[in-house]
Amino acid sequence: MNKIINQLLQIQDLTLILRENDILHKRRDIEARATESLKRNISEMKEYLSGDILSDLQLLSSKYDIFVVPMINDTCTGCFMKMPVGIANNVRQTSQCISCPSCRRFLYEGYQSRRPSGNFQQYKGIARFSSVDLMLPDLSADNHADALREIALLTAEKGFVENGEEFAEALLEREALASTAVGSKLAFPHARGISACGMTLALGISGKGIDFGEGETVHLVFASAVPTQTSVFYIDMVSKIARYFGKAENTSKMIQCKTAEDMWRIFVKIGK
Ligand SMILES: [Zn+2]
C-alpha cells in the first residue's frame, strides 16, 4: 500500500477511536486519558503529510467520517461509483495518492471476501453480523490477549475472516491504543482493515472474568472485524449492544448461558 494512504488510514482509524471512546466509555477518567494520547498521535501523524494532502484531508474529514476507502471491484466504496479504467489502474499501482473523481475520497485497492454459506441473512438487528457459529459460551483464556486470540482463531476457522493470526494481531494492536473495555463487564475489541466478509461480530463469555486493564473485569467480549467502509456503522452497532447490556439483568442472563444456542437466542433480540 502507498505510504501516504497508509498514514491517512491510520489517522482515520485514530479519529474513529476518539469517537468510540467518547460514546462508549463509562469511566470519564479513562476516556479523558485515552483522548489526550489519541489526539497527540493524530497530530504527530499529520506532521508527515505534505501541505497538499493535509489540506485535502482537512476538507474531506470535515465532510465525511470515512475519507479513505477501499476500491472493490473497481468501485469506490464511499460513493459507489464505478471507476474509469485509467483511475482503477492508478489505484492498483499504489505509487501515488489517488482520489475518487466523484466524491474525492482517497482510494486504495481492497478485496471482498466471500461470506461463508449460512442462513444469517434472514436475521434482523445485530444478528445480521454474526452467527451461532461465533458464540463461545466458555472462553478458556484467562488474560485478554489469549481471549482475543481464541476468538480470532475461531472466527477464521468458521470462515468469517481469512487469517486468524492477522485478525488476532490487529485486535491486540487496537487494544494497545486504548482499552476497549467500557464498564458493565463489557469489552468491544475490534480490528479494521483486515480481510473479512463484511462486518463480523463474535461473542465470547468468560464466567470468571478477564482483566482488561484499568481495573476492568470483562465477562462479555464482543470481538469484531470491521471493514473500513463500515466503520461508522460499527459504532452504531456497538452502541446498541452497550445499551442492551446496560441492563444488569440482560448481562447476567447472557453470562449464565451454557451453549452457543442459548447465547444466540438472546443475541437475536439485540437492537431489533
Ligand atoms: Zn467516491
- Domain boundaries in the chain? 3-109, 120-267
- Contacting residues for 164 by C-beta, under 8 A, at least 6 apart: 152, 153, 154, 155, 156, 157
- Report CA-CA distances (Å) from 219 to 113, 160, 204: 30, 23, 8
CATH of domain 120-267: 3.40.930.10
DSSP 122: G
Gap from CA of 228 to ligand 1 centroid (Å): 14
Question: What pLDDT shows up at residue 29?
Answer: 77
Question: What pLDDT shows up at residue 121?
Answer: 55
Cα(21)–Cα(253) distance, integer angstroms: 26
pTM of the predicted model as reported, rounded to 2 decimal places: 0.82
Beta pairing, strands 106-109 & 98-99: antiparallel
Gap from CA of 190 to ligand 1 centroid (Å): 25
Which residues of the chain are modeled with pLDDT < 70? 112-123
Question: What pLDDT shows up at residue 3?
Answer: 84
CATH number among 1.10.287.1490, 1.10.10.60, 1.10.357.10, 2.70.160.11, domain 3-109: 1.10.287.1490
The per-residue pLDDT for range 186-233, each reduced to its tens digit, is: 999 999 888 777 889 999 999 999 999 888 999 999 999 998 878 778
Which residues are within 5 Å of ligand 1 (an ion), measured at CB?
76, 78-79, 100, 102-103
Gap from CA of 127 to ligand 1 centroid (Å): 29
Gap from CA of 94 to ligand 1 centroid (Å): 17
Cβ count near 205 (within 10 Å): 18
Question: What pLDDT shows up at residue 190?
Answer: 94
* Cβ contact 94:110 at 8 Å: no
